[in-house]
Amino acid sequence: MKGASPSETNYPYLLTEDRSQLGDGAQARQARFLAQIESLSNQASFLAFGIALLLPWNATLAAMDYFVEIFPLYKPASSFLLAVSIPMLGMQVVSFALQNIISPQVKLIGGLLLGTVISIAITIVPQIIKNQAQCYYIVLGLMIGQGCAIAFLQSSLYGIAGVSGKLTNKLMVGIGLGGVTMNVLRIICMATLDSNDASAKVFFSIASAYLLLCTILSVIFVRSQSKAMQFAQSDSFLNLNMSEGHKSRNDSLGQFKQVKQQQESLVNRSIKVYKVIYPFALAVTLTYAIQYTYFPGVILTYPVTFIHQFKWFAIGAITVQNVTDTLGRLTAGLVQCPRSLFFILCLSRLVFVATYTLFYLDIAPDFFRNDVFIVISLIIFGVSCGYLGSLGMQMGTTPICGDQGLAGTILGFHLTLGISIGSLFGWAFYT
């Protein structure tokens, strides 16, 4: 690619440039390129990456009964979420500021590798450190590292998938499946192994093995996409050399606008995109803030009467939450509500603030305490989060935003912001 800087030839920027103003010839080349990045193998890869994205946290969440058992003097259901989410938010800011320096490929591979190492450490530390306080604070430190690893993955994957609704949907569905898979695996370990300690070791070992496999897959993915970049170059997809006399005036005008856009600063482009997508960004933040204010901490404090052991209630409630969340994500890929209704539905979830606050203050009406009501509210809580969160990500990354990859990165940040706000509120007001 003659005349292009190294940063302009990097694969991520092939995916994130705004090409809405290109001429017919360039749009045809873009369509062929998008068809390649939306290949079945890439969709399968993003489904696998989605499962791995929150796998360290999903594994921790699924084994929360284990951490409550070994750390009885602490409140890991709230403190662990806070330890993951706050560093995750801060590292996403750093990652965004350095996105022209650190490529998404490096963040993808590095994030998965760091998550693998931390998962292995979480498996080992409780076995070798018997002092409860020391063990707790070391694991708490590992949770901070876990948040940083997730931030690297989010800033990479949301940005790359932003230009494709198919990849975005596969990523979001994978996140939901990751939670369901971890819960099913945890149930199997608990049912087949007598010792909770032994089941936790097997459980975290399997999770670590999957993350290691995804790290290898990410290397293969990055190398395969370098071939796609060569294809794009040979097809003159981004050729800015205007010496070819047969190029149409529309193509020339489109490429001129493309060059002009490349010259704009990241901040200016971010402001332009944000002005278009901010309603969806704020809706995503609200959705996840409500979710993580009450889950898992508050929800796990009110067991149903038909489950007598806390460990089975905890894994049952978390499994229901993850299954319903995944169903919501799958539904978002099939049925999209009108935009006006989308915002109304996001605001309607504020009813859960009243419901779960009444539970926490122990002043809820008697019918709120009925097992049927508790289960139904948990199902609606999960489905609505998965559906509205995924729909907000998809609606906010349509071509109208101007730069779909950048929009995906911004929305990913707002998703993390919602988790951080929710975990902070849950820790401050409900523990």
Distance CA 334, CA 386 (A): 13
What is the CA angle 108-114-117, rounded to 5?
140
Q: Are 110 and 152 in contact (CB under 8 A)?
A: yes
Q: Are 286 and 419 in contact (CB under 8 A)?
A: no
Identify the band that residue 430 occupies on the pLDDT scale cut at 50, 70 and 90: low
Q: For the residues 19-48, what does the mean pLDDT come to?
A: 70
Among 180-184, 250-254, 292-296, 388-392, top mean pLDDT goes to 388-392
Identify the band that residue 112 occupies on the pLDDT scale cut at 50, 70 and 90: very high
Q: At 285, which helix (H) or strand (E)?
A: helix 266-294
Percent of the chain with pLDDT over 90: 31
pLDDT surpassing 80 at residue 21: no
3-state secondary structure of 17: coil
Predicted pLDDT of residue 155: 83
Least confident of 20-24, 308-312, 335-339, 376-380: 20-24
Average pLDDT, the chain: 81
Q: Is 63 exposed, middle or buried (0-12, 13-18, 19+ CB in 10 A)?
A: buried
Predicted pLDDT of residue 244: 39
Q: String of b and e for 376-396 (b: at least 16 CB within 10 Å)?
A: ebbeebbbbbbbbbbbbbbbb
Identify the band that residue 392 occupies on the pLDDT scale cut at 50, 70 and 90: very high
What is the CA angle 76-77-81, rounded to 5?
90
3-state secondary structure of 95: helix
Distance CA 73, CA 136 (A): 10
Percent of the chain with pLDDT over 70: 82
Least confident of 63-67, 230-234, 363-367: 230-234
Distance of CA 38 to the CA centre of its chain: 19
Q: What residue has token string 């800087």? A: 5
Predicted pLDDT of residue 267: 80
3-state secondary structure of 276: helix
Predicted pLDDT of residue 30: 63
- Between 30 and 120, residue with greater pLDDT: 120
Distance CA 158, CA 168 (A): 7
Q: For the residues 360-382, what does the mean pLDDT come to?
A: 87
- Closest C-alpha among 290, 275, 412 to residue 349: 290
Q: Give CA torsion, residues 109, 395, 346, 323, to 10 deg.
A: -50
Please report, as a single letter, which amino acid is at residue 228: A
Among 20-24, 194-198, 325-329, 363-367, top mean pLDDT goes to 325-329
Distance CA 328, CA 340 (A): 19
Q: Are 225 and 103 in contact (CB under 8 A)?
A: no
**Sequence ranges of the domains in the chain:** 6-238+264-429
Predicted pLDDT of residue 29: 63
Question: Which pair of tokens denotes residue 426?
Answer: 């849950």
pLDDT surpassing 50 at residue 69: yes
Q: Are 419 and 175 in contact (CB under 8 A)?
A: no
Predicted pLDDT of residue 27: 60
Question: Which pair of tokens denotes residue 319?
Answer: 């499994």
Q: Are 180 and 326 in contact (CB under 8 A)?
A: yes
Least confident of 107-116, 143-152, 217-226: 217-226
pLDDT surpassing 70 at residue 16: no
pLDDT surpassing 60 at residue 4: no
Taking each helix axis from N to C terminus, what angle separates 55-62 and 104-128, rounded to the nearest 10 degrees? 30
Express each pLDDT in 159-207 by its tens digit: 777 767 788 888 888 988 888 888 899 889 888 888 888 888 898 999 9
Express each pLDDT in 118-153 by its tens digit: 999 998 999 899 899 999 999 999 999 999 999 989
Taking each helix axis from N to C terminus, what angle separates 40-53 and 104-128, rounded to the nearest 10 degrees? 40
User: What architecture (CATH level 2) is domain 6-238+264-429?
Assistant: Up-down Bundle (1.20)
Q: String of b and e for 172-184 (b: at least 16 CB within 10 Å)?
A: bbbbbbbbbbbbe
Please report, as a single letter, which amino acid is at residue 242: M
Say if residue 56 is preceded by a cis peptide, omega within 30 of 0. no
